[in-house]
Structure 1
Amino acid sequence: MKRHQPIWMYILFGLAVVGLVSTFLTDFNSLIRNIIITAITIGIIYAIVHTFFLKRHNSNEIKKYRKAVKQSKKKYAQKPTGSYAQAKKRPVSKHKKRHKKTSHLRVIDGNKDTHKKMTL
């Protein structure tokens, strides 16, 4: 369903267009000046709102992110390499032998004949 705007919205929009056209034709410099002043005012208001109201929200997220990065670095930190640590290491061969791990599951053979009789 399409919603129609009230008649006063069309009247207000029409008056705004008439005002812009008449200002454009009669005094172009004041029109440009008013547009620039309006743009600067909107920019200042946006900057104030952004710095005072939205920055608090972002700073909390940044703190959480930094904490997560710190935990991740701590978790995945490499062990220190020194002469003692290098002496303990064994040389790594290119071809490692893979042992097949035995399964912890077992197959139990049951009476299959009785099961077939039950289904018939």
Structure 2
Amino acid sequence: MAIIALAILPSAVALSWFHVTKNPNLRPLGLTREALRAYTGGYGDGTGVVARVTGADLSGDRQAALARALTNAFGAKGVDLEVKFLPGTGPPVVSYVIGTSVVGPYPATRAAEGIGAAVEAYRMRVPPGG
């Protein structure tokens, strides 16, 4: 009985702590992208970076071109990117969301300036290969 108790004790403790904190990272064998997205307030699932583009001056073609350029830039660094376009006024600005941290905002014309900082923030948060 002691061996069985030692085998299940870590999972029981993690599950109990999950029920207290509601942090999906603590749920044994139950980590899902949906749970992470809900925990981070809808901005990503914790496995990548979310680029929030806010502004009124973007047409469909410009949106697609900006999303493609940002996705390719982050992909070259080995980081997944999700681009979300939000309504706003004025020229478009880009903010990079990594978990609960935000890098930016940067004007869309200078969005590349924040990529390095966003990738470093992502790498500090997620261990390599994780």
| Relative contact order higher in (CA < 8 Å, ≥ 6 apart) | 2
Computing the radius of gyration over CA atoms, which structure comes out larger, 1 or 2? 1
Q: Which has the higher helix share?
A: 1
Q: Which has the higher strand share?
A: 2
Fold equivalence (TM over 0.5):
no
* Superposition TM-score, scaled by structure 2 size: 0.22
